[in-house]
Chains A and B, each alone.
Chain A
Amino acid sequence: MDNRQELNRNLAQMLKGGVIMDVTTPEQARIAEAAGACAVMALERIPADIRAAGGVSRMSDPAMIKGIQEAVSIPVMAKCRIGHIAEARILEAIEIDYIDESEVLSPADDTRHIDKTKFAVPFVCGARDLGEALRRIGEGATMIRTKGEPGTGDVVQAVRHMRKMLSEIRRVASLREDELYEAAKELAAPLDLVKYVHDNAKLPVVNFAAGGVATPADAALMMELGAEGVFVGSGIFKSGDPAKRAAAIVQAVTNWQDAKLLAKLSENLGSAMVGINADEIETIMEERGK
């Protein structure tokens, strides 16, 4: 593995146990940082609004991203469309800390993802199962998150994806070595990465939960299921008291095993984002990019 890939995996290690929050303005970025976010995702519209507005959703204005970079000292991430090499180059040129090649935006390429090994900047990608995760890592992603169903406030898909990925990891770890070739074929994933999962019973990169997390309890649930940290998109700034909810989610991720604390954190948070059931929506973002 080359030096850059390793350094980029290392940065994700530093984010472990943390919460990454979607923000659309420098002011929101400062609120997120003060609440204890370990990184922010700079984007023009949060997924719930992208969903409401419809139409084509693209990379955010670099000037807007730069404003957020100047506002905080924590890492700043930004999204590019799946397969949009030029958007990724632009984000690299403004020295973004992490690119999310994201299904939340409209895909630019409906079959291929970006060859992320050609970039110095790190990438995080969404995945619904182990095969998808390993294909993205094979392309150079140095961090994985579940896709979930963004902008819904419905955690069901994130749970489904995390459970599926982790049960497939347990299955691969239990195989005989001579069964790994067939497993790689079934997963449509690079053999060396399947071997890594077999030997280590985990992904070679940090694995976060994302998509539909709206409450401290949702975040604790994802940690319980084996996530190494949580992305919260629409859940914070679509709620009644963003600063309080953000801080509560950060503490919930740190102490997800302490139910008494979770109970306290869940008190009087104001209204949660209204949300829509993931099975009532028309645009299924999780199906973008496989």
Chain B
Amino acid sequence: MAAYWRLKGAETFEIRQKSDLERNIDMLALPGGESTVQGKLMKDLGLFEPLKKRIEDGIAVFATCAGLILLAERIEGDDTVWFGSLPVTVKRNAYGRQLGSFKTTGMFDGKPGVPMTFIRAPAITSVSPDVEILSSFNGIPTAVRRRNITALAWHPELAV
């Protein structure tokens, strides 16, 4: 994810502890991985509340896969809510286990032919009316935008 944004000309650094938040941040990238791991680590390391406040205050957020799950207001079959700042419902591992992972290309934000890699990806099963849908797969939304937040179920960085 960091390499992806460096390619786009951004300077990047990883937020691993509280002192990292003292640096100047224009955009938060919430990468793939396991949402349970990331959520727990953010809480254990005292990062969760400060990050939640920044997101609510309107900092630009770009999230993929696990990042989308962390932002979602509801997770199907799970009472856990992490940031809950994006009014969508997500379903974890919606395409099955690793054997269900796949690659495709599709329309993203009006741009055709964008490569999309789905790794044990979540699906966005419902969205509130003010959420803009940026891409879909078989009629199910796979990327959304609302105010400061853009969130993707797939990985754009793996196609670079």
Contacts and interface: CB of A to CB of B under 8 A. Distances in A.
Interface of A: 3, 6-8, 10-11, 13-18, 33-39, 69, 73-76, 92, 95-98, 120-122, 247, 250-251, 254-255, 258, 261
A69 B119 CA distance: 17
Most chain B beta carbons < 10 A, residue from A16, A34, A73, A76: A73
B126 interface: no
B97 A250 contact: no
Interface of B: 16-17, 32-34, 36-37, 40-41, 44-45, 65-66, 78, 92-93, 96-99, 101-103, 117, 119-120, 155, 158
Given A95-B99, A251-B41, A11 B33 contact: no
Contacts, number: 93
B158 A11 contact: no
A36 B93 contact: no
Contacts of B97: 69, 75-76, 95-97
Given A11-B119, A247-B44, A74 B37 contact: yes
B37 A37 contact: yes
What are the 6 A-B residue pairs with the smallest beta carbon separation, nearest first?
A97-B98, A36-B40, A95-B97, A7-B101, A36-B37, A14-B32
Contact of B34 (A14, A92, A122): A14
A18 B33 contact: yes
Contact of A11 (B40, B78, B98): B98
Contact of B98 (A122, A250, A258): A122
Most chain A beta carbons < 10 A, residue from B36, B92, B93, B158: B36
A258 B40 contact: no
Contacts of B33: 14-18, 38
Nearest to B97: A95
B98 A34 contact: no
Contact of A254 (B16, B65, B103): B16
Contacts of A250: 37, 40-41
Nearest to A95: B97
A204 to B, nearest CB: 14
Contacts of A18: 33-34, 37
Contacts of B99: 92, 95, 120-121
Contact of A10 (B16, B36, B158): B158
A11 B120 contact: yes
Given A37-B37, A255-B45, A261-B17, A73 B92 contact: yes
Given A15-B33, A38-B37, A92-B99, 5 more contacts: A11-B98, A36-B37, A36-B40, A76-B97, A121-B98
A14 B41 contact: no
A17 B98 CA distance: 19
Contacts of B40: 34-36, 247, 250
Contacts of B119: 7, 10-11, 14
Nearest to B92: A73
Contact of B16 (A73, A96, A247, A255): A255
Most chain A beta carbons < 10 A, residue from B34, B103, B117: B34
B55 to A, nearest CB: 21
Contact of B117 (A10, A35, A36, A73): A10
Contact of A3 (B17, B32, B92, B103): B103
Most chain A beta carbons < 10 A, residue from B66, B98, B103, B120: B98
A38 B34 contact: yes
A98 B99 CA distance: 10
Given A14-B119, A18-B34, A75-B120, A8 B93 contact: no
A33 B96 CA distance: 19
Nearest to B93: A73
Contacts of A258: 17
Contacts of A76: 97
Contacts of B158: 10, 13
Contacts of A73: 34, 36, 78, 92-93
A11 B101 contact: yes
A36 B39 CA distance: 9
A224 to B, nearest CB: 15
Most chain A beta carbons < 10 A, residue from B37, B96, B119: B37
